[in-house]
């Protein structure tokens, strides 16, 4: 099992530590990046806090989409929409809003059956928040209207972002590509009055799915739970989807087999004192 570490100086590590606590609660979800624990070390005289994550051999969804140039078949895109919804459903059940869903924060793992499909896992929870908290967060191209203009950063924002990613999978372009993407102020103005561009030539089910994600009223926008029952991702004629695919992949298996949280000192380099580590944990 390969690991990667996200690291930060201890005095600046509160958001990274918070990300670890969220991931710890989501350890059993196969659509969330697995965090194996935490470590502290001294690097070049700096006390570091390290979050231990599983290595994603497929890289990011963004890099993979660029390699495919947008030619992702609808059946395959619906499978990935299903995985994103399953992951974000567990996040929302915790009362957490991811706030920064975008292709660069979605990690890819090869399927166990050698079918050339991917298992997607949501990563990077540093900008996540408890539902009800304020503050503008996230990338503009995947930000919902109510987040951008009303300061509402709740679960419907994540659904909007998933709609943007699904549309981008099938076209290779942002649904805001028709706007001036090089000027954030102009783009924000366009987002106030225009709808994201839904791809042409897609099925009625795919079109309706995106419309449900792009409902401007967040109180009407469909939830992850409702979207998981939408024909686009729950179509029993699609052999890639839902329970049959999950059974085939045996997604319940965990790295290291136990899913236990590792907390250690000095795994990477010179250890620091437990007193220093404990003080930082309390302040985090």
Residues 278 and 151 in one domain: no
For the chain, give the mean pLDDT. Answer: 82
Residues 131 and 170 in one domain: yes
Residues 90 and 147 in one domain: yes
The residue segments making up the domain with residue 16 are 3-55+254-283
Residue 247 pLDDT level (bands cut at 50, 70, 90): low
Q: State mean pLDDT over 16-28.
A: 91
Tell me which of 39, 100, 124, 158 is the catalytic residue. 100
Residues 12 and 119 in one domain: no
Residues 77 and 48 in one domain: no
Q: State mean pLDDT over 143-171.
A: 93
Question: Does the annotation count 100 as an active-site position?
Answer: yes
Residues 121 and 200 in one domain: yes
Most trustworthy range by pLDDT among 3-17, 23-37, 154-168, 224-238: 154-168
In whole angstroms, give the CA distance from residue 241 to residue 75. 8
Question: Which CATH number goes with the domain that contains 188?
Answer: 1.10.510.10
Q: State how many domains the chain has.
A: 2
Does position 280 have pLDDT exceeding 50, yes or no?
no
CB 202 within 8 A of CB 170: yes
Q: State mean pLDDT over 255-280.
A: 42
Residues 162 and 278 in one domain: no
Residues 100 and 159 in one domain: yes
In whole angstroms, give the CA distance from residue 157 to residue 96. 12
Q: State mean pLDDT over 28-38.
A: 91
Question: Which CATH number goes with the domain that contains 26?
Answer: 3.30.200
Does position 172 have pLDDT exceeding 80, yes or no?
yes
Per the model's pLDDT, the better-predicted residue between 91 and 271 turns out to be 91
Does position 262 have pLDDT exceeding 80, yes or no?
no
Residues 87 and 194 in one domain: yes
Reported pTM = 0.85
Residues 20 and 117 in one domain: no
Q: State mean pLDDT over 55-65.
A: 93
């Amino acid at each position: 099992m390969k690991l990667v570490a996200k690291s930060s100086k201890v005095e600046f590590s509160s958001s990274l530590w918070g990300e670890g606590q969220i991931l710890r609660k989501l350890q059993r979800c196969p659509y969330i990046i697995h965090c194996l624990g935490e470590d502290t070390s001294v690097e070049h005289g700096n006390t570091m806090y390290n979050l231990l994550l599983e290595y994603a051999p497929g890289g990011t969804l963004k890099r993979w989409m660029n390699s495919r140039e947008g030619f992702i078949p609808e059946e395959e895109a619906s499978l990935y929409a299903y995985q994103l919804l399953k992951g974000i459903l567990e996040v929302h059940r915790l009362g957490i809003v991811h706030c920064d869903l975008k292709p660069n924060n979605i990690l890819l793992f090869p399927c166990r059956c050698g079918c050339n499909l991917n298992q997607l896992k949501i990563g990077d929870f540093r900008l996540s928040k408890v539902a009800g908290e304020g503050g503008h967060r996230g990338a503009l191209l995947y930000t919902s209207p109510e987040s951008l203009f009303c300061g509402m950063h709740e679960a419907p924002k994540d659904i909007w972002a998933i709609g943007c990613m699904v549309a981008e999978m099938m076209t290779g372009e942002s649904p805001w590509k028709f706007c001036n993407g090089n000027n954030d102020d102009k783009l924000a103005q366009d987002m106030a009055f225009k709808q994201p561009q839904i791809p042409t030539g897609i099925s009625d089910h795919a079109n309706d799915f995106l419309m449900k994600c792009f409902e401007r009223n967040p109180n009407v926008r469909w939830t992850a739970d409702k979207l998981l029952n939408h024909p686009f991702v729950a179509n029993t004629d699609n052999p890639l989807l839902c329970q049959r695919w999950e059974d085939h992949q045996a997604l319940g298996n965990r790295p290291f087999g136990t899913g236990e949280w590792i907390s250690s000192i000095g795994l990477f380099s010179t250890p620091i004192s437990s007193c220093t580590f404990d003080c930082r944990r309390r302040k985090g």
